[in-house]
Structure 1
Amino acid sequence: MDEMTQLRELRADAPVPDRAALAPGRSRLTDAIAGNGGRRTLALRLRLRLTPMLRDWRVASLGAVVAVTAAALVLTQVIGPSAPDRSAPATVVGDLDLSSPAAALNRAADHLERQEVPPEPRADQWIYIREVDGWQERQWEELPEEVRKKTPMTYSPDRWVPYDDKAAENDTSDTDYRTARESYRIAAALPEDPEALLARLREVFPTGSGPDGAPEAKDEHSFRALSVLLESYPIPPDALARIYRAMATVGGVEVTGHLIRDASGREVIAVARKHDRSESRREILIDPVDYSYAGNRDVVTKTHEVPGPEGLAPIVQKRGDVLIDIARTHAAVVDAKGQKP
C-alpha cells in the first residue's frame, strides 16, 4: 500500500471541512509570514508544494500533527534565517541578450518556435519532477523526530504525478491548481496575441477577495497566472514561446542584466516583477541553454519588518534575502511512478 492510500484511509470517516472553515488558519499563517501584500503568493506556494499530498481534505482530520508540520515547513522556510544571496553577477554567455525583458524573452521564443513539438503524453504516463529546495529539506530534517514519525508526509526532491488525474480535475476547491493534462491543454490552446493570451490566463487562474487577500491588479494577476502555468510540465515548445512573448508585455516585468545562481548552483535567467503590496519580488527562472522553466525565487527588495507569529517579535527581512528558492533540475514524462529518465 502506498503512502497516499494509507493517508486517505487513516481517517476516511472524518467529515470534510469546507474552505470557509480552513480560511482563518491559512489567513493567520500567511499574514504572519509576509503581511497582506504577499498573502496570495505565499498561500499559493503552500498549496503548490503540498497539494500532491494534501489534496484530499480528510488529511485535516489528522489534527495538529499535519497542520504543525506544514506550518513549520513554510514558516521557517520563509521567515527563518536569511538564505545565502545567490544573486551575485555572473558572466552572460553566448548570444544571450539580457538588456530588456523583450530582448531576452523574444530570443527565447524564437529558439522554442524552431523546436519540434513532441506528442502529448499518454493518459497512463507519469510526470517526474526533481526540484532542489534547500530550505524545505533543511526544515524537514530539523523537525522533532516525534513529529516526523507521526506524519505520513516526508520530504523528497523527487515527485511523480499522474498525467491523467480525473479525480483532481473534478476537484474545483482550488482555483489555482490544474493537473498536468489540464495545464498542457490550456497552454496548447493559448492564442498568439499577447493581450488575448494574458486575458485567457486571468480567466483560468482567477483573482478575488477572500482568504487569499484582495483582488490583484491586472499586471500582478497576469504575472502570477503565468507563474502558475509555467510550473506545470510538459508545456509544448510553441506554447511556451507564446507565453514568453506575452510575459515580456506585462507591466513592471524586468530581467536581471546578468545570470544569477539558482538553488542548485546553475546560472539562469531571472525574469522578475515586484509584488504590488509587499517589499519583495517574484522571479521566474529560465535555463539560458534550452529556455525551459528552471524554477522560481522570491527576493526581498527593501529591508523592513513584518509581524511575527502571535507572541513573538517582528521579523526583520533584509534587502536581498531569498524567501523562496526552488530550482527545477529534472523534468520528464515517464511510464510509471518511481521511474526516472
Structure 2
Amino acid sequence: MDDLQLLREMRRDIGSPSPATLARGRTKLMTRINSTSASVASTDRDTKGTVSPIRFRRRVLLASAAAALLVGGIVVADVVRPSGPGATAEAAEVLNNAAAATIQTSDPVVGPGQYLKIETTELTGSGLQAADGSDISWQETTGGQVYVPAEENGEWVWNRDERVPLDSSSDAAKAAAAELAQRRKAQPEGAPLLVGILRAPGGAFYGNEPTIIIGTPLKDAISLPRDPQALLDIIYERTKGAGKSPERAAFVTIADGLRNGVVPADLRAALYKAAALIPGVTVGDRQATIDGRTGIAIGIPSPDGIARTDIVIDPTSGLVIGEQDILLKDYPGFPAGTVSTWTSVKTSVVNAAP
C-alpha cells in the first residue's frame, strides 16, 4: 500500500563480517529502530515478482484518520499511568521553558489567499531483498512541502519529493533505489501517487483526515484539555498496548503532535508540559543539530536500550526543529551516537501553492 498508511518504530559476531552479513544487519537494525519508535514499515508493490522492497519510514507529517476511527468514542477510564516522578529535572525544566516560550511566540498569521507552508526533510533507511535472498540496504533523503490554506477546510496541497540515496551508498544500493523509483513512476492508473503534487480538501490526503493526536482530528483540537496531566491521561488511554512501553508510546504521540506544524500555541505548550510528566524522558544533547539548525534534544530510550527517540526544540522560540533516532549501543558500521534517522520541520507563510 502507500507510504501514508499508518496506524508512529545487535550485538555482534567476532571478526570481519561479509558485505552480505553487514547488509542484513543494517536492514535488521533499521527495522528495530523504526519499530521501537512507532514507525511504520511500508512496501512498494512488487510488479515484477523479482525483489521484495522494504521501506522504513519515519512517522509522516499528518497522522492517519484510520487510527482515529479505531479509537473514536473512547471514554478515558482505567488509565494506565506509569509510576515514577516523570522526566528528569533537567528535561522537565527544558520542556516547561519551551512551553513558556511557545506561548510568547506568536503563531504565524495566514491571511486570506495565503498558505502556511510546512516543509520537511528526512534522512531515512531503506532496503530490499533480492530473489536470491541477499539484502541491500542504504540511507536516503526525501522531503515534501504541505501548503495549508488560511481556511483549513479548503484545499491543501502536498508536494512529495523523490527519494535520493546518499552519495556514500554503494553502486548496488543506488541501482536498487533507481529501480524502486522507476516502479513508483510506473504504477497503474488510479494507484496512490507517491511522488508529486497531491490535493485534498481539509488535508484528507489518501482519505486520511489530519489529526492532532490519535482520536482527535485537527478540526477538533479545541476539545483537547490544556491541563497537562489530563492531556497525558488521554494519550495513555489512546495508546494503551501500543509500542514497547506506555511511556515511549505516549512520548512518540506527543512528538508527532508537536511536529505537524498546525498545533495552536496553547496546545503545544500543554503537550510540552505533558511530556515533562513522562517517566524516562531525559535531555539527550543540548547542541543537537538537524539539517543545519541547532537545539536541545529531549528523548526517551527504547526499553532494550538500543536507541533513543528525540524531539529537538529551539529553546528561544519553543518550536520543534525536528526529530531524530540515535543509537545508544555500538553496531557494526554504526557506532553508538550515530543518528540513524532524522526529520527537520520548517514553517513559513507564503502567498501561493503549487
Which of the five TM-score ranges fits, normalised by the shorter chain?
A: 0.5 to 0.7
Q: Deviation at 1:109? A: 1.1
CA deviations 1:301-325 (Å, max 9, x no partner) are 1225xxxxxxxxxx56421111112
Identity of counterpart residues, as a percentage? 19
State the distance in 1 between where 2:51 and 2:351 align: 31
State the distance in 2 between where 1:231 and 1:66 align: 34
Q: Deviation at 1:236? A: 0.7
* 118, 130, 133: which one aligns with 1:128: 118
Q: Deviation at 1:230? A: 2.0
State the distance in 2 between where 1:254 and 1:224 align: 14
Q: Secondary structure of the equivalent of 1:151? A: helix
> How do 1:1-341 residues align onto structure 2 when only pairs under 5 Å count?
32-33=28-29, 39-41=35-37, 43-44=39-40, 46=41, 60=45, 62=47, 68=53, 71=55, 100-116=90-106, 127-131=117-121, 133=123, 135-137=139-141, 138-139=164-165, 143-144=174-175, 145-152=178-185, 162=200, 164-166=202-204, 168=206, 178=211, 184-185=218-219, 187-204=221-238, 206-208=239-241, 215-256=243-284, 258-262=286-290, 264-304=291-331, 317-328=334-345, 330-332=346-348, 337-338=353-354
Q: Deviation at 1:131? A: 1.9
CA deviations 1:132-167 (Å, max 9, x no partner) are 5384235277532444333229998x9877571346
Q: Deviation at 1:254? A: 0.8
Q: Which amino acid aligns with 2:37?
A: T
Q: Secondary structure of the equivalent of 1:238? A: helix
Q: Deviation at 1:250? A: 0.8
Structure with the higher fraction of residues in strand conformation: 2
Q: Which amino acid aligns with 1:198?
A: L
CA RMSD after TM alignment: 4.6
State the distance in 1 between where 2:199 and 2:343 align: 18
Q: Secondary structure of the equivalent of 2:263? A: coil
Does structure 2 conserve the Cα–Cα contact (< 8 Å) formed by 1:132 and 1:327?
yes
Q: Secondary structure of the equivalent of 2:140? A: helix
Label 1:130 to 1:160 Cα distance change in 2 as closer, same or farther (>3 A): farther
Does structure 2 conserve the Cα–Cα contact (< 8 Å) formed by 1:126 and 1:160?
no
State the distance in 2 between where 1:316 and 1:33 align: 11
Q: Deviation at 1:120? A: 8.5
Structure with the higher fraction of residues in helix conformation: 1
Does structure 2 conserve the Cα–Cα contact (< 8 Å) formed by 1:105 and 1:248?
yes
Residue 25 of structure 1 corresponds to which residue in structure 2? none
State the distance in 2 between where 1:155 and 1:268 align: 31
Label 1:337 to 1:104 Cα distance change in 2 as closer, same or farther (>3 A): same
Instruction: Give TM-score, length-normalised by structure 1.
Output: 0.58
CA deviations 1:26-68 (Å, max 9, x no partner) are xx99982357686242633x46xxxxxx9xxxx6374669962
- The count of aligned residue pairs is 256
State the distance in 2 between where 1:300 and 1:170 align: 32
Stretches of structure 1 that go unaligned for 5 or more consecutive residues are 1-6, 9-17, 20-27, 48-53, 76-97, 172-176, 210-214, 305-314
State the distance in 1 between where 2:258 and 2:231 align: 14
